[in-house]
């Protein structure tokens, strides 16, 4: 439990580094007061250490303003406390401006054989908080208690959402639908091409046991009447995943949650990599053309001198 296998790391590397560096100087650390942005959303970490207590760290987390907090923060705090028991405690009252604050015992962390795993958990507050609503829905499907209802919206960042249709064809299945926002002609072409190939590959025989995946440029029936008037104009395409009980067993549940939370960042990274590859290729081609032109110029100059 609490492991999220994915080539996109769930933990914030800068927070992990801050914890590890502080553990390395338990008796003589300087005061620290740093704000670290989350890599996947508009949330931030706030790392604070007092020079007089170098073996203690206050780690705070602030989500974006429109996040639906309700009882999510309280429940997430309990999960975090359980996952990091003996190393971190949740402050009853978060520091001003924060949604939750943890008091980390760095000395206790240094003495644990699983200190690296615990540091990564402390740096994974995004999935503990923003991923909680999605995890609840997946858990109900895993238990065969997913009741059919209208698609629910889940915020994964300040600007991005996904929709979840519970009880999709049965009480043991759930559909996750991503509306993909338009970002410009070039990005839209790359995104559409990637998602079409992604969906086609997911339907291949080699991945027969994976959640089904479908791509559409039209609004899916599940979102008819759910999207606000005029909202469809902002979306260029949609992609849908369907999970059932065999995809949500205890050893797969956390991975399923993270795969959905990190899907939009995965698309964004793919587009950036495609652009980088194209720009690199263009620069190499231009370089080759310049060499040809320079050689031709030199040969032409030499011929003129011989005449």
- 69 pLDDT higher than 70: yes
- 3 pLDDT higher than 50: no
- 51 pLDDT higher than 70: yes
Position with higher pLDDT, 203 vs 75: 75
For 46, the token pair is 């706030």
Handedness of CA 205, 210, 215, 220 (dihedral sign): positive
What share of the chain in percent tops pLDDT 70?
92
Which H or E element spans position 295? helix 263-306
- CB within 8 Å of 38: residues ≥ 6 apart: 12, 44, 45, 126
HEC profile of 186-202: HHHHHHHHHHHHHHHHH
- 286 pLDDT higher than 90: no
Q: 1: pLDDT confidence band, cut at 50, 70 and 90?
A: very low
Q: What is the pLDDT of residues 132-150, one digit of tens each?
A: 999 999 999 999 999 988 8
Q: 291: pLDDT confidence band, cut at 50, 70 and 90?
A: confident
CATH fold, domain 13-129, is Yope Regulator; Chain: A, (3.30.1460)
Q: 198: pLDDT confidence band, cut at 50, 70 and 90?
A: confident
What would be the CATH architecture of the domain defined by 146-270?
A: 2-Layer Sandwich (3.30)
Residue 52: HSE in the Cβ half-sphere, 13 Å Cα cutoff? 0
What share of the chain in percent tops pLDDT 90?
60
| pTM summary value | 0.84
pLDDT for res 41: 92
Beta-strand (E) ranges in the chain?
A: 32-37, 44-50, 53-62, 88-90, 100-105, 152-155, 161-166, 173-181, 212-216, 235-244
Alpha-carbon distance of 158 to 136, in angstroms, equals: 21
- 178 pLDDT higher than 80: yes
Q: Work out the average pLDDT over 254-262.
A: 93
Average pLDDT over the chain, rounded to whole?
A: 88
For the chain, residues classed under CATH 3.30.1460.20 are 13-129, 146-270
- 305 pLDDT higher than 60: no
pLDDT for res 187: 85
Of 34-48, 162-176, 236-250, 269-283, where does mean pLDDT reach its minimum? 269-283
């Amino acid at each position: 439990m609490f492991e999220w296998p994915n080539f996109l790391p769930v933990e914030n590397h800068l927070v992990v580094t801050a914890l590890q560096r502080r553990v390395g100087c338990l008796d003589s650390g300087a005061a620290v007061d740093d704000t670290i942005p989350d890599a996947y959303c508009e949330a931030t970490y706030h790392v604070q250490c007092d020079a007089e207590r170098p073996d203690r760290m206050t780690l705070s987390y602030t989500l974006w303003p429109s996040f639906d907090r309700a009882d999510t923060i309280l429940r997430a705090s309990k999960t975090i406390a359980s996952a990091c028991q003996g190393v971190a405690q949740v402050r009853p009252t978060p520091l001003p401006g924060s949604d939750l604050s943890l008091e980390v015992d760095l000395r206790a962390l240094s003495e644990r054989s699983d200190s690296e795993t615990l540091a990564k958990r402390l740096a994974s507050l995004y999935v503990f908080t923003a991923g909680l609503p999605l995890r609840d829905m997946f858990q109900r499907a895993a238990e065969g208690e997913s009741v059919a209802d209208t698609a629910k919206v889940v915020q994964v960042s300040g600007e991005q959402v996904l929709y979840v249709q519970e009880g999709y064809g049965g009480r043991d299945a759930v559909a996750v639908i991503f509306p993909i926002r338009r970002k410009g002609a070039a990005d839209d072409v790359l995104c559409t091409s990637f998602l079409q190939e992604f969906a086609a590959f997911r339907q291949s025989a080699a991945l027969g046991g994976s959640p089904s995946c479908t791509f559409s440029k039209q609004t899916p029936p599940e979102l008819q009447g759910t999207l606000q008037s005029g909202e469809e104009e902002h979306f260029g395409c949609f992609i849908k995943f369907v999970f059932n009980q065999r995809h949500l067993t205890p050893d797969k549940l956390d991975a399923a949650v993270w795969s959905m939370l990190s899907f939009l960042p995965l698309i964004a990274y793919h587009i950036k990599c495609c652009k980088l590859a194209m720009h690199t290729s263009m620069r190499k081609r231009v370089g080759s053309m310049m060499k040809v032109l320079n050689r031709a110029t030199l040969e032409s100059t030499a011929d003129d001198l011989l005449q």
